[in-house]
Every structure is written in C-alpha cells, then in structure tokens.
Structure 1
Amino acid sequence: MSQRLISLDFFRGFTIAAMIVVNDPGSWSYVFDPLRHAEWHGATPTDLVFPFFLFIVGVSIVLSLSKTTNTSSKVYFKIIKRTFILFSIGVFLALFPNFDFNNVRIAGVLQRIALVYFFCSFIYLKSNKSHQIWIGIFCLLIYWIFMNYVPFGDAVVGVLEPGNNFAAWIDQFITPGRMYQKTWDPEGFFSTIPAIATGISGMFCGHLI
C-alpha cells in the first residue's frame, strides 16, 4: 500500500468542500459575497478554488512521476490516456443530458485540468527543477505580453475587458463549440497558458516536499 501525503489529502478535501459550498450555497437568492466569483476585476475566496485544484495537480505530478525510474513509452501513454479520459469526461458532462453536438461547450473545468496535467507532466519529465521554474515564469511573461502589447481585432492594444481582450479574441477563432459567454470563455485555451504556470507552482512545492 502506497504511503499517503496527509497534508495533500487534507488540502484536496478542503478544496472539494469549498467547491461544493460555492456551487451549492443552498439558496442563490442569499449568497454571501465571498462565495461569489468576482465579476471581472479583483478576486474573492471563490476564485481561489480552481487554482487550488491546478496547484494540487502539480504537486501530485511530482509525487507520482518521481517514482518513475525510466521514462518509457508506457509512462507517456499513461499520461496521454489520463488526459484523454479526463478531457472526455468534461465534454460528456457538457453534452449530458441533451447531447446537442451543435451547441456543446468543448472548453471547461475538467478539460483545463486535463490540459494542465498533460503539459505539466511532460514539462516535469523533460526538464529539471530549475528549468521548470523558468518555464512557469515564461508562461506568465508571454501571457502578460500578449494581453497588454499585442494588437488584436481592429488593431486594439491593451484592452482588458470581458469579451474584449486578446485571450477572448484568440478563443473566438480557435475554441470549437459554444463558449461559456458569447464572446469569451473563462476556461478558454489561450488562458490555459497561465493555468499551466499554476500547475508548475504546484510542481515546485512538490519538489520541496
């Protein structure tokens, strides 16, 4: 029987409990502000729940793959298989129960977790701890540069409003299916770049453990 890391299990359980409270507060007519997502600017405790999951993914990658003595094709196949299963479950839940393939939302929470797991796993296997930190910094830097200094649409630069920013503009072109909002998706593919950095921060913590 493998030894469990109690602190990680506790943190995972705490995050799941927080998710349940946020997603089912009892009455949507009376919800405390800390249990609501920020409309756009700023952040609330609710906005930390999803990053906590991505952080946990990063820690778990190190604890799991550090036991791997060799990076054989079986290891890569296992990573790809897990990614596919998790991504598929997310799409299935988006389809259920109507299975309207013409109006399905491909992006989603489980799908983003799957992508972060995929990229962080390969980053862990293909680089050392120092390089992983620099990759995480690069992800944040490149995202910041594109969001603030790269023109989009009608040569607009540095606009950071809902549905009117570089990430939303990119997602309108590359995100298949329906988006969460008409013009943008909080789990869009371009904003997965900083999400990968969140996973890498968990990997860094995993190295310290």
Structure 2
Amino acid sequence: MITETKGTHLHYRLSSIDAYRGLVMFLLLAEAFQLCKVAAAVPESAFWQFLCRQQSHAEWIGATLHDLIMPSFCFLVGVSLPFSIARRMAQGASMRDLWIHAVIRSFLLIGLGLANAALHARQMIVYPFDWILPQMGLAYPALFWLAFKPSRTAWISVVAILVVCWLVFALYPIPSPDFDYERVGVSQPWLKEYGLKGFEAHWQKNSNVAWAFDVWLLNLYPREKLFVGFPKGMTTLNFIPTLATMILGLISGRLLQSDRSSWSKLRWLVIAGALGLAGGWALSLTGLCPLVKAIWTPSWVLFSGGWCFLFLSSSFLLVDWWGYARLAFPFTVIGMNAIAAYLLGQIYPNVAFNALRRLVGRTPFTFLGDSYEPLIYGGVIVAGYWIVLYILYRRRIFLRL
C-alpha cells in the first residue's frame, strides 16, 4: 500500500530498474541483428543456431530469451508504479489527479498499441488487443487500484487470477476429434509437431476458451472476412493473467522502495525467482498446465515471473548494491527512454536497412563475408538507435505516458 508518513524517506527512482528495462529494450532492438539469417547462412554452426533460437519465439510450449521480453516489460510497469506514485504525491498530486493520469495512460497505451499494429498491417481488419501495449493498457487501471491496497490484497489477487484462469480453461470442452483446425489457421503439420494432447488440449492453439471469446468479440466489428483466430494464437483475454505478472512487479517495487536492508531485498527476490521457476516448470512437467506464453497460462506467469525476479535481483545487486552503474550505463540510456526505444525498434528498422543500403551499398558490411552481412547491418542500426537515445538522454528528453 502506498503510504507517506512524516520522517519516511521515499525513493523516486532506482538505477537498477532503468538498467533492467534497458536490457529488455536492447533485446527488442537486437532483432535488427537478424541472427536467424546468419544462422541460415552458416547451418553448421551450433553457436548461431542457438542464438537464432533465443531470438525466436517458442512455437507453443516452452520459452526462449525472446519470450521473456514481454513479461519483463509488463513486470517492470508494476515495479515502477510505487516510485511513480510516490514522486507524484511528493509533487502535490491529489488522488483525483493520480486517477486521471492512470486512466489517460491506459487509453494512450491502448491507442499507441493499435496505431503500431496498423502500421504493421495493410489494413486494420482486426482490433488487435493481443499486442503488448493494449494488453498493459487494459490491465493498468486494476494494477493502479491495487497500488493503494495492502500487499496481502495484491498476493490474493495474483492467486485468484491464476486459479480462475486455470479453471476457466480446464472446464472449457476439449475440441472434438473432427474439429477443423485448418479453418482456424492451425495446419496439420503444425498440429502434429506442436499440438497438445490429453488434458493439456484444454490449452490448444485457437481452440480454447479465450480463442472462443475472441471469435465472438471480434466478429462484432465490421469486417470483410470472418475472424477465426490470431495467427500466433494470442488472445485478448491475455490481459487478465498479464495483470498477474504486473502485480508481481508491483510487489517487487514495494519491496525495493521499503526500508529493508539490501541483503533482505536481494534474498527475497532470489527466493521468489527460484520458487516461480520451480512452480511454473512443475505445472508444465506434470501436465496440469502447459507452459504457453502465447496465451499466458498460469504456469507461464509463474515461470516468466521467476525469471523477472532473478533479472531484477541481478540488476539490483550489480547496480544499486555493488555500485556498477557505469557498466550498466548503455542499458540505462535505453531504459530511461523505453517508449522511444520501443517506437524506434518497431517502426523504423526496415527504413533504416534500406537507407543504409542506398547510402553506402553492401561493401562496407560484407568484410566478414556475405553470411554475416545482416549482423553488421544490424550492429550499425542498433548503434544508431543508441546514439539517438543518448542524445535524448543528454538533453533530458524522455517520452513518457
């Protein structure tokens, strides 16, 4: 619960949070390296195959480093919230002011996400609330409300969300043997390799309860063709378990803001991380709840949340406790302007590639051979992104919602 009493020293920002956020955004920007193109050019290299795998999403069950970008981003929204509220309260904001800002931020997140989706599509035939920014926008008001409630309420909310989500999926009927998966965008080859069987089939791609909700909801809108499911199987209702991830971040933010010793904070984060990893992995291994990021299963909330706790604990240890802020500075520059970094990475990569090719040709980027040309191009582009963000940092220009 956010409180402010006489004599209480409130911290309004921690460098470790910016560094962690910067690392997450760097992984997003690093898509410009096109590691899978390099891996395809040198198929005999296990090293590049591994990096390609980590820069790709798991098809359905499982996780890669790339899969942890979205939960980390959501988790960090929760971590930052107690600091943001404390800063605004210190500036004299009333509860009404805080709520107005929260509602506006929610709508901006949804609007920005929809606009970004429209830029990636030829026509806006679907209102894709499955994207990360709309998901956070839908969940944000509830997260903000919980920021003023006791920690016990936050924990109860997490447990309730996970249990209810599991029950709703588990009680929804499994598709019949003659279900037409091709009609909903799931091919037979995909189904043979990645499809779920037995009890786990309750979480099958484009045939689960959240998918059924989207088929109903998104066909209420005017459209040329019937909506049958998102290509990657993600759903609008993902925002509910996403809220659980954000609440875990909120709990962590309160911990970091507290007067507990650094050792106590670090120990708590590490233990929470280990328990989250073990719990999520156990649920998946036993077949009770598959580990599926695309529909944000309860096991995914625990597993990805465990990684988020561990990432945050590592950043806290290195940056805030041991004082290695200079080493983290490249990430801090990105993390303090995460929205700008996100927009750079989402909107301009193809423009940057084409501009570079027209400006200087291929020769400067093939000195390691044609196989590594995408990597060199990507390195130059990411460096350009960072320079832009550094200029904004030096001029104290930060895009915030």
Tell whether the 8 Å contact from 2:127 to 2:218 is kept in structure 1 after alignment.
no
Matched, 1:90 2:137: no
Q: Does 1:112 align with 2:158?
A: no
Q: Per the alignment, in what secondary structure is the counterpart of residue 7 of structure 1?
A: helix
**What pairs up with 1:194-205 in 2 under 5 angstroms?**
194-205=241-252
Letter paired with 1:131: T
Q: Which residue of 2 aligns with 1:168?
A: 211
1:134 and 2:156 aligned? yes
SS at structure 2 position matched to 1:24 = helix
Amino acid at match of 1:8: I
Which residue does 2:337 correspond to in 1? none
Contact 2:78/2:143 (<8 A) preserved: yes
Q: Distance in 1 between matches of 2:140 and 2:129?
A: 17
CA distance in 1, matches of 2:131, 2:74: 13
Q: 1:65 aligns with which of 37, 62, 85?
A: 85
1:26 maps to 34
1:45 to 55, 65, 70: 65
CA deviation string 1:69-106 (max 9, x = no partner): 77622211110111111211111122237773445534
Displacement of 1:159 in angstroms is 2.1
- Return the alpha-carbon distance in structure 2 between the equivalents of residues 94 and 189 of structure 1: 14
Secondary structure, counterpart of 2:130 in structure 1: coil
CA contact (8 A) 1:86 1:114 kept: yes
CA distance in 1, matches of 2:86, 2:120: 40
Unaligned runs of 5+ in 2: 1-10, 40-48, 180-198, 257-401
For 2:173, what is the secondary structure of its paired residue? coil
The residue that corresponds to 1:5 in the other structure is 14
**Amino acid in structure 2 at the alignment position of 1:24:** A
Paired residues of 1:94 and 1:105 also in contact (CA < 8 A): yes
Residues 90-124 of structure 1 deviation map (CA, whole Å, 9 limit, x = unaligned): 11122237773445534312111222322211222
Distance (Å, rounded) in 2 between the aligned partners of 1:75 and 1:46: 33
What is the CA–CA distance in structure 1 between the aligned matches of 2:69 and 2:104, rounded to whole Å? 26
Q: Distance in 2 between matches of 1:56 and 1:147?
A: 27
The structural deviation recorded for 1:61 is 1.1
Bigger fraction of residues in helix: 2
- Going from structure 1 to structure 2, the CA distance change for 1:101 and 1:45 (only over 3 Å counts) comes to closer
Is the 8 Å Cα contact of residues 35 and 46 (structure 1) preserved in structure 2? yes
Pick closer, same or farther for the CA change 1:97–1:148 going to 2, 3 Å. Answer: closer
Counterpart amino acid of residue 24 in structure 2: T
Report the equivalent of 1:183. 229
CA positional deviation for 1:129: 0.9
1:38 and 1:71 map into 2 onto residues whose CA distance is: 44
Q: TM-score, normalised by structure 1?
A: 0.83
- Residues 111-141 of structure 1 show CA distances to partners (whole Å, capped at 9, x for unaligned) of 112223222112223x211111110111111
CA contact (8 A) 1:172 1:183 kept: yes
